[in-house]
Amino acid sequence: MLPQNSNNIFIIVPVYNEMKEVLEQTIIELLKMPYRIVIVDDASAGGIFLPKDTNIYLLRHAVNLGQGATLQSGIEFALGKGAEYLVTFDADGQHAATDIPAMLAPLQNNEADITLASRFLKPGHHNASWSKKILLKTGRWINYFFTGLYLSDAHNGLRALTRQAAEKVALKENRMAHATEILFAIKKSNLKYREIPATVTYTEYSKSKGQSVFNSIRIFFDLILHKLFE
């Protein structure tokens, strides 16, 4: 692996109404790694409190826009700060910060432009319920239907992008359809992608914040509109 200049690695964490303790724990775990952290608050009620640290940036949306818009704000901010590698990381404690180096390695070795975490590549990397599994399998087919890419994990919030890839992935979908929109960008710009096994830990908390069946229908509808109007 190349020597790591971690100053140009930015972790983007979209935050919306996250429980204080959970967000703190996520940030504490991230601070153990030598990266810059961009917290993007999507207008959480009551704002958010962050530990004082020189490696943390905070952006705040004045009104709630959705996760796709939140990620895009973080991406644009990190690019403006000269980021060479960008990682998206959910705030709800489901990802492990220790998975990030493995996500970055293929980018740093020029083997891929974008890496997508997958909880299904290796057994035992997740504790998803069967209903969640069915939902993710359906999402996989929907992604395949819209993009022609058949991935093992449809909606995993942990991804890593090179600067060039991040510039091409300009998210227009404000809500959750951005996960598929990233695949559109991969297809359109011929980005080299790779799936990396990563752990996903579901807690009662992250489940309560996760995607419901109703939301999935919304995603599907957003995708159809995306195709119709773009």
What binding mask, one character per residue, do residues 170-199 give for another protein by CB under 8 A, x or -? Answer: --x-x-------------------------
User: How many residues make contact with another protein (CB under 8 A)?
Assistant: 25
Q: Which stretch binds another protein (CB under 8 A): 48-56, 88-96, 186-194, 201-209?
A: 48-56
3-state percent helix, strand, coil for the chain, nearest multiple of 5: 45, 15, 40
Q: Is 41 helix (H, G, I), strand (E, B) or coil?
A: strand
Q: How many C-beta atoms surround the C-beta of residue 196 within 10 A?
A: 20
What binding mask, one character per residue, do residues 124-163 give for another protein by CB under 8 A, x or -? Answer: ----------------------------------------
Q: Which stretch binds another protein (CB under 8 A): 55-63, 82-90, 91-99, 205-213?
A: 55-63
Q: Does the protein bind another protein through residue 218 (CB under 8 A)?
A: no
Long-range contacts of 69-74 (CB under 8 A, 24+ apart): 69/42, 69/171, 69/174, 70/14, 70/15, 70/16, 70/40, 70/42, 71/12, 71/14, 71/40, 71/171, 71/178, 72/170, 72/171, 72/178, 73/40, 74/10, 74/12, 74/13, 74/14, 74/38, 74/40
Q: How far is the CB of 59 from another protein (least distance, A)?
A: 5
Window 21 to 40, contacts with another protein (CB under 8 A): 40
Of the residues 69, 151, 176, 191, which one makes contact with another protein according to CB under 8 A: 69
Q: Applying CB under 8 A, which residues contact another protein?
A: 40, 52-63, 65, 69, 72-73, 76-77, 80, 172, 174, 225, 228-229
